Structure 1
Amino acid sequence: MKANQGFKPEFLWGGATAANQIEGAYLDGGKGLSTSDFAAYKDPYAKGKVNNFTFDVTSHELQEYTNNSEKYLFPKRWGIDFYNRYKEDIALFAEMGFKCFRLSISWARIFPTGLEQEPNEEGLSFYDAVFDECAKYGIEPLVTMSHYEMPIELTKKYNGWVSRKLIHLFEKYARCILERYKNKVNYWITFNEMNMNLNSLYTGAGVLEDLVDDSLQAAYQASHNQFLASALAVKAAKEINPQIQIGCMINQIEAYAHTCKPEDQLQAVKSNQLNMFYPDVQARGYYPTYIFNYFEENNIQIEFKPEDELILKEGIVDFVAISYYMSHVAEAREDASKLAGTFDSPIKNEFLELSQWDWPIDPIGLRISLIKLYDRFQKPLFVCENGLGAKDVLTKEKKVHDDYRIDYLSKHIQQMKEAVKEGVDLMGYTPWGCIDLISCGTSQMSKRYGFIYIDQNDEGNGSLERIRKDSFYWYKDVIASNGNTL
């Protein structure tokens, strides 16, 4: 028996995007309006500090945005025009040597309101063309079924995922795309970062928070309904094509204890449990015992029907995917329970540098996360998001010298390699925003992640020219060397 020395030859190098952040063409091809189409641009420096990470929309804002949309900017409606430029973009990914391209399907392109009996053929044909273009270059699509968007009509009619009505509407959608692309897509993820329901109900679950009595109760009920929908999609995938690999995904937020004080250590354990709750259910097929005490302490009562237990058991995922951007600091304090499971901690780690958006930079945290996740689930892992948002500068010579991004990514890849050496089964790596796209949190363009610069500003002005950054050529070498040249 020998230890792994590096990434396996079939390792899936690539990049990640989301339909609502790149496609644009928000009413073209028969597409309906989605929740993301009502994410208004927020100036992150309007109040002298960086804005929050998620967009939230209330019932009053939704009404205002619907009636007076011309008064606001909705950047996710225009994206970076991938809808019309996908051939150019995929060719650039192929030039970098991508073996995998993570993208999502817009539910509202397939079922414009979510309520139709028959799918929109124009929408299905668009993704056929995208997958065919990937196949031309030997690029495997990794497709997310639901990435922070759903038909807005399901929010208006049912208040999103708090309603069980969405379970079978999603199953209909999932079966439709699984059947349509059964010979074109081998890797699927059901829901993007489902644990982010604890951070933004509207973003993750299409729920208007001002219309629910208890947001925490609503978050877990929505999550339960998504668990069932995901499990039914997994079952459908195995019926349609047993070779399909289908996974779950969380935003991995490894919690460190602030001190060696036992109370802080215990709080870190509890914080990590709330993060692990999501893959615990989806990778094991049942609710872990620790969550019952948490539900009781917080007066959370889930609508759990007798058939739900069997559905969860029959819908266990094949792999666990994560996004990883930062680690978290936990401390035994008065608001500890509110902070547990959240994306960012107000307690900063003094040993870590911060990005321009005040996100802690912690490559070793990724290694720690991978080791713990693999020990826990013994299933293949996939790092399908990781990256550095920064304000890139385009020179007069049309160059972007992003050494800071190269440094960030190389350190994280090195730690992934160390995790593989220590026995972690890692499927692939698709850094976030491989091409500049609209920010999820504030709908900015100026928070850039990509290897490819897009000539467009926060207001949507620009030529949309695609420009290779220095990191483009660096990542090309990384892929060609299977991670040995960093």
Structure 2
Amino acid sequence: MKLNKDFLWGGAVAANQCEGAYLEDGKGLSPMDILPTVQLGRKEAMYHPELALEKDYGYYPSHGAIDFYHRYKEDLELMEQLGIKAFRTSISWARIFPDGEGEPNEAGLQFYDSLFDECKKRHMEPVVTICHFDTPLALTKKYGGWGNRALINLYLDYCRVLFKRYGKKVKYWITFNEINMITHIPFFGGGMVIKEDENVSQIVYQAAHHQLVASALAVKMAHECGEGLLAGCMLAAGSFYPYSCNPEDVWEAVEKNQDSYLFIDVQARGKYPSYAQRIWKEKRVILNMKDGDEEILRCNPVDYIAFSYYSSRLAGVSPDINGKVADGNAIYTLRNPHLDITPWGRQIDPMGLRITMNDLYDRYQKPLFIVENGLGAADKVEADGSINDDYRIEYTRNHIKAMKAAMEDGVICLGYLAWSCIDLVSAGTGEMDKRYGFIYVDRDNDGNGTLERMKKKSFYWYQRVIESNGEEMD
């Protein structure tokens, strides 16, 4: 299949995983800034954020990250050489509003002005996530995060500044990164610290409702800007397969998929799906909606469905499963015996991308946008300076082929943004050794290194893919 000439080939990063400069030029703290590496207790801090708020772990990888804040021109020059047409990043809410509210920080605004100008200079379309696991920590401490409805208006104040300032520079916007993650990692997804004796489901689903209302109003605001802005939603995707043809396994997969799609159903279709009532009943959730919320959701659906895909997932209740699990991007999944698996426990399933794209497009009939897909691996720099990451080439090639097959199935897809164009701090583990980029960054798990950038073998391969618009992939 030949892709349209306007297909958006590119790469993706997140502010809190690459920028560094965590308190520079007036920036406030965000959740990533108080999370250590996995070796120091990252999962403890992520799932029990009360510890992260009180404990000094010593080293925090986001504080310096890869220093994109000071090196973005150098990095974008490399990405221009790579040939990317679209560059996805996020705006750090705490860099614009250090306390999450009040007056915007002009130094932060100027940084993103310069960043987007540099993108345009190098013929790259910015794709911007408004909130990428980046609710200012000040809003956690003052309001309790997204569990408090007050954050809707604070988020909209933030959006208003962004659309007014960057509306002529940025066309593609994403309201929340992987919104379905709020039920799995509520501190990252919603800036919330939940006590053990509280009804977690009640809090996270109420917080998600606040985000859904905020998202819908942000879509409305974007459309009213008159700049032709497109606003999309985003989910952490990967269809659940049933472990076997046992009807109970099949139903378990159906329920898991419904859990993943619930919030996107609202953003794309404008209302909660019928199965939401069952989920709320099972989880003892009584959703508090204000007058007008349903109309806001109904009148402001998103323009496109953005999603991350790393692997499919597996669900079932069969007795022979034996508790074997894999990394499902913070979502519980069983180990699929038919798939290879990375050293970090993530399963590799290119066909799953085709299946997931068909599931999403059949469900929503809106354009899709792959904004994250990539392989985390331990890359080795050889004595001659080469980095021979053939495994990343194979992974990316097979997933692009699966994407093209889905498009032959009739799926409309706006673009493919690899995660990532450059090495950065892993969100899940806080590591640098788990590398995703086509560009190597000389920094290790302890923050040592020169920060020198080096092109990997995959850089030159992806360069040819883009030059040929997906025709040359050998």
Displacement of 1:210 in angstroms is 2.3
* Runs of 5+ consecutive residues of structure 1 not aligned to the other structure: 66-70
Distance 2:197 2:53 in 1: 15
Match of 1:171 in 2: 156
Contact 1:55 1:442 (8 Å CA) reproduced: no
Q: Does 1:221 align with 2:206?
A: yes
Q: Which of the residues 61, 81, 90 maps onto 1:104?
A: 90
Query: In the superposition, relative to structure 1, how do residues 343 and 6 fare at CA in structure 2: closer, same or farther (>3 Å)?
Result: farther
Q: Which of the residues 49, 52, 58 maps onto 1:61?
A: 52
Q: Does 1:482 align with 2:474?
A: no
Contact 1:79 1:437 (8 Å CA) reproduced: yes
Match of 2:292 in 1: 307
Distance 1:213 1:333 in 2: 31
Q: Any residues of structure 2 matched to 1:225-236 within 5 Å, and which?
A: 225-236=210-221
Match of 2:243 in 1: 258
Q: TM-score, normalised by structure 1?
A: 0.93
Distance 2:288 2:406 in 1: 39
Q: Which of the residues 81, 96, 99 maps onto 1:113?
A: 99
RMSD: 1.9
Distance 1:323 1:144 in 2: 13
Q: Which of the residues 67, 91, 95 maps onto 2:77?
A: 91
Contact 2:442 2:449 (8 Å CA) reproduced: yes
Q: Which of the residues 425, 431, 436 maps onto 1:444?
A: 431
Match of 1:395 in 2: 382
Contact 1:212 1:218 (8 Å CA) reproduced: no
Distance 1:240 1:247 in 2: 15
Q: Which amino acid aligns with 1:233?
A: A
Match of 1:380 in 2: 367
Match of 2:394 in 1: 407
Contact 1:54 1:441 (8 Å CA) reproduced: no
SS of aligned partner of 1:238: helix
Q: Which of the residues 135, 138, 142 maps onto 1:157?
A: 142
Displacement of 1:64 in angstroms is 2.6
Match of 1:22 in 2: 18
SS of aligned partner of 2:195: helix
Q: Any residues of structure 2 matched to 1:78-477 within 5 Å, and which?
A: 78-116=64-102, 118-210=103-195, 213-332=198-317, 343-477=330-464
Q: Which amino acid aligns with 1:462?
A: G
Q: Which amino acid aligns with 2:405?
A: E
Distance 1:300 1:276 in 2: 18
Q: Which amino acid aligns with 1:353?
A: D
Q: Which amino acid aligns with 1:362?
A: D
Contact 2:243 2:318 (8 Å CA) reproduced: no
Distance 2:285 2:387 in 1: 50
Sequence identity percentage: 47
Deviations 1:19-76 (A, max 9, x none): 00000001111111111111112218x9xxxx869933422430234xxxxx511111
Query: In the superposition, relative to structure 1, how do residues 299 and 344 fare at CA in structure 2: closer, same or farther (>3 Å)?
Result: closer
Distance 1:383 1:53 in 2: 31
Displacement of 1:315 in angstroms is 2.1
Displacement of 1:285 in angstroms is 0.9
Contact 1:253 1:343 (8 Å CA) reproduced: no
Distance 1:60 1:447 in 2: 25
Q: TM-score, normalised by structure 2?
A: 0.95
Match of 2:33 in 1: 37
Displacement of 1:6 in angstroms is 2.9
Q: Which amino acid aligns with 2:20?
A: G
Query: In the superposition, relative to structure 1, how do residues 387 and 174 fare at CA in structure 2: closer, same or farther (>3 Å)?
Result: same
SS of aligned partner of 1:369: helix
Query: In the superposition, relative to structure 1, how do residues 346 and 289 fare at CA in structure 2: closer, same or farther (>3 Å)?
Result: closer
Contact 1:58 1:210 (8 Å CA) reproduced: no
Displacement of 1:400 in angstroms is 0.7
Query: In the superposition, relative to structure 1, how do residues 53 and 404 fare at CA in structure 2: closer, same or farther (>3 Å)?
Result: farther
Displacement of 1:333 in angstroms is 6.1
Larger RCO (CA under 8 A, 6+ residues apart): 1
Deviations 1:195-253 (A, max 9, x none): 11121111111111227711122221111111011111111101113511110000002
Displacement of 1:270 in angstroms is 1.1
Displacement of 1:266 in angstroms is 1.2
Contact 1:56 1:203 (8 Å CA) reproduced: no
Contact 1:246 1:319 (8 Å CA) reproduced: yes
Distance 1:265 1:57 in 2: 33
Distance 1:220 1:96 in 2: 41
Distance 2:347 2:467 in 1: 30
How many residue pairs were aligned? Answer: 468
Displacement of 1:346 in angstroms is 5.0
Displacement of 1:433 in angstroms is 2.0
SS of aligned partner of 1:143: strand
Query: In the superposition, relative to structure 1, how do residues 17 and 215 fare at CA in structure 2: closer, same or farther (>3 Å)?
Result: same
SS of aligned partner of 1:311: helix
Distance 2:2 2:316 in 1: 36
Distance 2:157 2:236 in 1: 26
Contact 1:171 1:232 (8 Å CA) reproduced: yes
Query: In the superposition, relative to structure 1, how do residues 409 and 160 fare at CA in structure 2: closer, same or farther (>3 Å)?
Result: same
Distance 2:191 2:287 in 1: 18
Deviations 1:351-381 (A, max 9, x none): 1000111111000000001011111111000
Q: Which of the residues 6, 16, 22 maps onto 1:10?
A: 6
Contact 2:184 2:331 (8 Å CA) reproduced: no
Distance 2:434 2:368 in 1: 27
